[in-house]
A and B are shown apart, each in its own frame.
Chain A
Amino acid sequence: MSKQIYIQLFKFVFLVLLQIYVLNNIAFFGHLNPYLYILFILLLPLETPKWLLLVSAFMLGLSIDYFSHTIGLNIAASLLVAYLRPGMIRRLSPKIDLSQGQKIGIRDFGFAWFFMYSSFLITIHHICLFLLDSFRMSEILDALGRALMSSIFTIGLVILSQYLFYRQKK
């Protein structure tokens, strides 16, 4: 179990650094920005207690906010994803058996399942993030557009990362 904690801590630090130093500096076509860090919440083990989901989302958002002058913004969006995650898993696979030790990912759940799961939560996260950032009525449509385009980028990266890091283990 303690090994699991170290793995998760490493993922946390890795994704935060990747987000701040690489992805935050990428802006496709001016302002499309992938937010891959949310992958951490998506991939937390199935047996993670619900309160821990929220607490880790809070810490994750706080770390990202710390470095990007947006205090509170990423916390709010990450919390929403952590809150919706258990319901989403229940809806996609109602008869999930925790004792089998399945890990969230394409390897154990298949492409369609993982695609549905990640694209829904990522889109929610991005919409929340971009809407809160804009905060003005006249910009809502534009913010939505940017959120959706950025979501596509992030989903692409998430799927790519699945094939890069998790496939070979089989």
Chain B
Amino acid sequence: MRYLLAFLWKHNFFFLFVALELIAFILMTNSKNYQGSVIINATSEFTGGINNTATNIGNYFSLNRANEQLLRENTALLQNSSESVLISDTGFQYVDSLYRYIGAKVISISTHKRNNYMMLNRGSKHGIKKDMGVISGDGIVGTVISVSKNYSSVMLLLHKDAKISARIKKNNQLVNAVWNEIDYRFGTLEDIPAHLQLEAGDTIVSSGNSFIFPQGIQIGTVTEYLNNSGQSLNSAKIKYSTDFNGIFYVYIIENLKKEEIIELEEENN
């Protein structure tokens, strides 16, 4: 025992290094699964406040781009919606039969890491809950993974674990959209049945099967169809319709009928 202690003491630098690295790796593996969001949750109230200030300063430099983005979304709304929406358009929120939209400002975002997140200035105080969908004016952005009082963390489509149930718009076939790329502009479609031929330019939209996103919200367009010969399922490269590097405002989606649907499902089981 004495020799062991003497040995440990002699090489204390090495053993302290190993011990601390071990802690780092435990933290790392935990943050890859759901426990990690607890750590994020505990810190976001603090970091969110600082990020908010920093973004407020940064916003002055990007006002033009943000205004353009909002203008584009407003134009789309004007074109698509009936007059009733125009009258009730007093803020970011409006209620329709199935979904409620809550506007939020992006206060921090990463796009060039392996797993990317963003933080929004809306939290449990504003009715945000875990697993709500997040979209921008251009398309799907991600899902809420943790919420604190004033802030929420969103797992972007640009994440190892992000898998979105999608549909090919022209023939309503179901596929899965994942992110295997390094480039934040592109994603991958998986599980395309071999008899389906996709062409560059085909639009991919949300399927509406997950109760997180409404049906028909744009995800992206196909840029390249990859034919894996000999396999029954093909894949394709898509270009996201959301420009992740340039979003300032997003909408968080609450499915007002989610509990009812889940209840019904449980009854069936």
Contact = CB atoms under 8 A, between A and B. Distances in A.
A75 to B, nearest CB: 4
A134 B111 contact: no
B21 A76 contact: yes
B3 to A, nearest CB: 22
Main secondary structure of the interface of A (DSSP, over half): helix
B27 A21 contact: no
B24 to A, nearest CB: 4
B16 A132 contact: no
A89 interface: no
B111 A71 contact: no
Contacts of B43: 66
A87 B259 CA distance: 60
Nearest to B119: A69
Query: Contact size class for A?
Result: 35 or more
Interface in A135-169: 135, 139, 142, 146
Given A50-B13, A51-B12, A72-B31, A27 B24 contact: no
A170 to B, nearest CB: 34
Contacts of B245: 27
Interface in B20-65: 20-21, 23-31, 36, 39-40, 43, 47, 50-51, 54, 58
Contacts of B50: 67
Interface of B: 12-14, 16-17, 20-21, 23-31, 36, 39-40, 43, 47, 50-51, 54, 58, 108, 110-115, 117, 153, 160, 182-184, 245
Interface of A: 21, 24-25, 27, 30-31, 33, 50-51, 54-55, 57-58, 61, 65-73, 75-76, 79-80, 82-83, 86, 132-135, 139, 142, 146
Across chains A and B, which 10 residue pairs bring their CB atoms closest together, nearest first?
Answer: A72-B28, A72-B27, A31-B112, A71-B31, A75-B24, A76-B24, A69-B117, A83-B17, A50-B13, A133-B114
Given A54-B16, A75-B23, 8 more contacts: A27-B245, A50-B13, A58-B20, A65-B27, A67-B108, A83-B17, A132-B28, A142-B182
